[in-house]
Structures are given as structure tokens and as C-alpha cells.
């Protein structure tokens, strides 16, 4: 119920249909990944901070983090672009 209210308020999604189900599943997957990544002791770099200075091509966790960041940023940017597009269409409809 809370997720329906939040997504409806933020992105103007109608969650009574299955049209947005893949996006909702992906949001839950992102949340699960973030929760797992934030667990203490998940990455060796927490115990050996010097590993943070290694180049990205040597560290798999940096590559994974960059990949997640790029993918999830694109997803949420697309959600926001959809809202902006509907807002423009609404204003055009109102004025013409």
C-alpha cells in the first residue's frame, strides 16, 4: 500500500494495472542490492582502506558499483523524464 502511494505521488503511476509491474520489481531489486551492499563487512575494502586507492580495473567492487550506479541512475532518470513529458502534455492540453 505504501509503495503504491509513493510511486503514484512521485511518478503518477497507476499501480492498479500490471503496466508498471516490471519497474516496481526493478525498484525492489535495487533496494535489495543496496541493502546487501550496505551491510557491514560486505566488502574487503572496509577492513583494508588502502584498497580504495587501487585503480578501477583491479577492483571488482568498484566496477560493480560503477555499473550499478550507471544502470540505476538511468532508470530513475527515465522515470523523471516520463513525469516531465506527461507534465508538458498536460500543459499543452490545458492551453490548447
Q: Please report whether residue 30 resides in a domain.
A: yes
- 58 vs 12, which has greater pLDDT? 58
Per-residue pLDDT, averaged over 64-81, amounts to 89
Per-residue confidence (pLDDT) for residue 16, from 0 to 100: 67
Domain range for 39 is: 17-95
Q: Please report whether residue 75 resides in a domain.
A: yes
Q: Please report whether residue 71 resides in a domain.
A: yes
Q: Please report whether residue 42 resides in a domain.
A: yes
Query: How many structural domains compose the chain?
Result: 1
- 72 vs 5, which has greater pLDDT? 72
For the chain, helix, strand, coil in percent to 5 are 75, 0, 25
Q: Are 52 and 94 in contact (CB under 8 A)?
A: no
Q: Please report whether residue 40 resides in a domain.
A: yes
Q: Specify the pTM.
A: 0.63
Average pLDDT, the chain: 81
Q: What is the pLDDT of residues 12-56, one digit of tens each?
A: 777 666 666 787 788 888 889 889 888 888 888 888 889 889 898
Amino acid at each position: 500500500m505504501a509503495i503504491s502511494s509513493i510511486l503514484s505521488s512521485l511518478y503518477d503511476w497507476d499501480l492498479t494495472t500490471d503496466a508498471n509491474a516490471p519497474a516496481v520489481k526493478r525498484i525492489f531489486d535495487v533496494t535489495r542490492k543496496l541493502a546487501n551492499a550496505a551491510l557491514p563487512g560486505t566488502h574487503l575494502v572496509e577492513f583494508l582502506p588502502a584498497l580504495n586507492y587501487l585503480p578501477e580495473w583491479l577492483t571488482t567492487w568498484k566496477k560493480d558499483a560503477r555499473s550499478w550506479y550507471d544502470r540505476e541512475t538511468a532508470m530513475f532518470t527515465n522515470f523523471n523524464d516520463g513525469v516531465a513529458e506527461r507534465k508538458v502534455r498536460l500543459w499543452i492540453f490545458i492551453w490548447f
